[in-house]
Amino acid sequence: MKFANNIISIFFFLGSTFFLFSCKKEEGNNIIAITSSEKIKIDSTEKYKEPFRPQFHFSPEKKWMNDPNGMVYYKGIYHLFYQYYPDDIVWGPMHWGHATSTDLIHWTHKKIALFPDKLGMIFSGSAVVDIDNTSGLGTKENPPMIAVFTYHDMAGEKGGRTDYQTQGLSYSLDEGETWLKYEKNPIVKNSGVKDFRDPKVFWNNETKLWNMVLVAGDHAQFYTSENLINWKFESQFGENIGAHGGVWECPDIFKLKVANSNEEKWVLLISINPGAPNGGSGTQYFIGDFDGKSFKTTQKDIKWIDNGADNYAGVTYNNTPDNKRIFIGWMSNWSYARDTPTKNWRSAMTLPRELSLEKINNNYVLKNSPVEPFKKQLVSEFSKDILPIKPNQKVTFTYENFNQSEVKFKASSKNLKLVFSNEVNDSLVLNYDAVQKNFSIDRRHSGIVNFEKSFGEKIHNTKIPNITTETIDYQIVIDWSSIEIFLNGGVYSFTEQIFPSKPYTKLSIQSDEKLEIKNVTIHRIKGIW
């Protein structure tokens, strides 16, 4: 038993595990110390404990990963495929990696699903279960799982051709374990369009047809099919609307009910690189109507699903229970994705998020927040109301590892500054300017930032006019190398990578106004590996 600073700690060994039990204590009026009760493994060679390795986000076992692909639910299993290069931690000839989950939180790594072949590398795409065997590639008793993806012919690209991307098909008769390429690939040829890729396929229950949306340069194209093999071009969208600072990628389209109404609208996701609001890669969305052949919208402004720098190429699951719309994005940015300071592996996915649609100020807003099963990973460490904070007063929480935690609270809709820091003076600063309706993230001094110029070059600012409430709900989720922030249940979200030299151990909250903060909770987040 150890006594220090009036904190009582009891520790002992059992096998290879070190157990620590501590109590909580307040030190003065402005500093709150929080210690946890948890098991700490002492084996430094344990898998998934490399520097910056996410502890509750999906990351590949080893080597390079980018876009999520082929997200489909079947017989209680969520399948996640992804762009994968098994030979290096930088981008290379693309394969489809594969993982499965029963809860979207805990993942099992599977063998590589799709390999490059004579038609090219395997770029992004989607997967469906052909329940009625419309393709004829399985049976009604054993319906095939179908993957539709982009072939990228590198030799054709280097040779100056523009038709080097086509759409291919592969199918599985054992629920995604093994895959066979369709013998007559490609199923959609290219008439000479550069950047012709990333097909999202789904069954349209209203038209009783398969739909496909893919991107062709700076716009989207829509197709229909009766059998997933023979496709008919129907329309295109986007040449004169939306953000066009870079190539369009990774489309998705789905219908959502508008909260507190009987209205339903279609949502079209389009990723773009470069051209995002905080530099590099980002994902925009459009709200409109879709009749199975063409998409139309009256939307004039550009909307982003996430306003941080590190949420790209996100798409949603097909065939989910209760028709929930579950989104996962690649938690990186092409501006520096190849340079981040990790070894053995590179890149992670965002937390899976449930999407919903709400009307605020007569404006359609696509909300996103962590899926319900995430709550099971939370272990309560601290809960308290702090009333009020005086102007320029600073309240500081000390905790052994904010880099595996969730921080939640409700605050007056007033100026607010949050600073996460550690003993080596790394600091991550979040700031809300109530007058300007601006939320900012400053990671310039957050840890290791010099691996690429744009990573720590500037403060990321976002106007947030859809925050209209008198109080704001803050949810902040931090892993070993990321932060995800959700305001008012995901009216705005922000995803950013961070690489602190050591875990953040302090959180300070302050304002230049009198500020009420209620329902402060801090949770430790259990690891998934």
DSSP state of 23: -
Buried b vs exposed e over 298-309: b needs ≥16 C-beta within 10 Å? ebeebbbbbbbb
Q: How confident is the model at residue 516 (pLDDT cuts 50, 70, 90)?
A: very high
Q: Is 287 exposed, middle or buried (0-12, 13-18, 19+ CB in 10 A)?
A: buried
| 273 has a pLDDT exceeding 90 | yes
Q: Which CATH number fits domain 2-41+378-525: 2.60.120.560, 2.120.10.90, 3.60.21.10, 3.40.50.1970?
A: 2.60.120.560
512 an active-site residue? no
**The pTM of the whole model exceeds 0.95:** no
Tell me the mean pLDDT in the region 69-73: 98
The catalytic position among 67, 198, 252, 310 is: 67
pLDDT in tens, 107-152: 999 999 999 999 999 999 999 999 999 999 999 999 999 999 999 9
Residue 232: pLDDT over 60: yes
Kindly list the domain boundaries of the chain, sorted by start residue.
2-41+378-525, 63-370
Question: Which residues have C-beta within 8 Å of that of residue 25, sequence separation ≥ 6?
Answer: 5, 6, 7, 33
Tell whether the model's pLDDT for residue 1 goes beyond 90.
Answer: no
Residue 38 is predicted with a pLDDT of: 53
Worst-scoring range by mean pLDDT, 2-11, 205-214, 282-291, 413-422? 2-11
- What's the CA gap between 268 and 254, in Å, rounded? 7
User: What residue has token string 């008198």?
Assistant: 470
The sign of the torsion formed by the CA atoms of 251, 252, 258, 259 equals: negative
* pLDDT, position 15: 34
Class of domain 63-370: mainly beta
Q: What single-letter amino acid sits at 228?
A: L
Q: What percent of the chain has pLDDT over 70?
A: 93
What is the rounded distance in angstroms from the CA atom of residue 341 to the CA atom of residue 3? 38
| Alpha-carbon radius of gyration of the chain | 24
pLDDT exceeds cutoff 70 at 28: no
- pLDDT at residue number 204: 98
Q: What is the pLDDT of residue 387?
A: 77
Q: Which residues contact 436 (CB under 8 A, 6 or more apart)?
A: 463
For 333-347, b where at least 16 C-beta lie within 10 A, e where not — what string?
bbbbbbebebeebbb
Amino acid 379 reads V
User: Average of pLDDT values for 3-24?
Assistant: 36
Answer yes or no: is pLDDT of 461 > 90. Answer: yes
Per-residue pLDDT band at 406 (split at 50, 70, 90):
very high
